[in-house]
Amino acid sequence: MKIRKNWGKWLFVLALIFLVCVANRKVLPEILREAARTSPILIGMSCLLSAGYFLTEGKIIQVMTGLNEPRLNEPLRHQPAFTWGKGIACAFYCEFYRVATLGSGSGIAEIYYLNSYGVQAGTATGMSLVQYIMYKLAVAAYGIAGFLILTAKGESCVRGYGKLMLLGCLITVLVTAALLFVAIGKRACSVIFTFLKKKGKGRWEEKLLALEKQAELCQKEAGLLLKNPKKLLCIILLNILKVSFWYAVPWLFLAGKIPLSLPEIMLLTALIQMLAAVIPVPSGIGSVEYVFTLFFGVYAGSVSAVSAALMYRFATFLFPCIPGGVLAFRHYRWNKKRKISQAEERKEYLSDY
């Protein structure tokens, strides 16, 4: 069933790309020529900025693992530290599966990776959910700040699409509030799930139980984070830094072409990412490019805006998949050898008795 869903996503995305190419067939050659003229140095710099996102994500994962008790009930002195390097590897590993599954496999990949290093599956699930909520908070805060600041400055893109931006901000606030409610509203969630389970007996009962379990795991990790204000502040700042690396990428391709400074381009990119996330498309493929072209096209024209959008997509989506794929292959081999070694140790232990 999961394989069918992934194939369905890919077919949908490919059909969407085909329709976009057909709709822009007159200017497509010009867009490709402009993209081909992009300096390799700029492409390399955009990849370095993209890498900064995953270096920061790795630090967030390391900090999150430090919130929990000794892993798998082992004494702390027997545990290898979950280092920043392992966190970075985990971040790239998850990105590979995010691209391969168009978004749906990233969380599962993180749970599997952390579990292979001794983090209990339930703890890893809670960590993954809290990380996602903290990321959404950073995106929402950055995007809304972008809307307010650009509106105050009277930028052309806001004047032209102000209502669309305001609607996107409202939807984002509602979604973010709902996620926060699940993370910290333990008693209220319990009441809601009890009510839903009474009304949803039958085919929905199993799904509701699974959702309730996930909410409990998320609340446990969120509780640990709230009890440690320093780490909470650290993770908030790291998330803002993390997304800032990606939001700076368009400046490399649009600087000098549009009358916006680096901070203004970053704020507009944050707003674009926030609004694109409202559109239910796998991994934002198509929606990011559409909103990116819509807003930056006000300043740079559609050809330059589409070219910059393609470079942005390469740096933030395709490039991280390369090291992620290598790390996924290495982790698969390492984990396979580890399991074989553990099986042999169990046989030797049993043979002694």
Task: Provide the token pair at 246.
Answer: 């990606």
Do 266 and 220 form a contact (C-beta atoms < 8 A)? no
pLDDT at 128 over 80: yes
93-104: average pLDDT: 84
Q: How far apart are the first and last CA of the chain?
A: 44
pLDDT of 239 strictly over 70: yes
Which pLDDT band, with edges at 50, 70 and 90, does 77 fall under?
A: very low
Of 321, 277, 29, nearest in space to 139 by CA: 277
pLDDT above 70: residue 343: no
Q: Write down the pTM of the prediction.
A: 0.85
As beta bridge partners, residue 258 has 255
CA dihedral 256, 260, 262, 267 (to 10 degrees): -150
pLDDT of res. 162 = 81
Q: Is the dihedral of CA 200, 203, 208, 213 positive or negative?
A: positive
* In contact, 327 and 89? CB cutoff 8 Å: yes
Instruction: Over range 263-285, report the average pLDDT.
Output: 85
Query: pLDDT category, 234, cuts 50, 70, 90?
Result: very high
Residue where the block lists tokens 């790309």: 17
Q: Are 61 and 119 in contact (CB under 8 A)?
A: no
The answer to whether residues 324 and 92 touch, using CB atoms and an 8 Å cutoff, is: yes
* pLDDT beyond 90 at 104: no
Q: What is the mean pLDDT of the chain?
A: 82
Task: Please write the tens of the pLDDT for every residue from 240-270.
Answer: 999 999 999 999 999 888 999 999 999 999 9
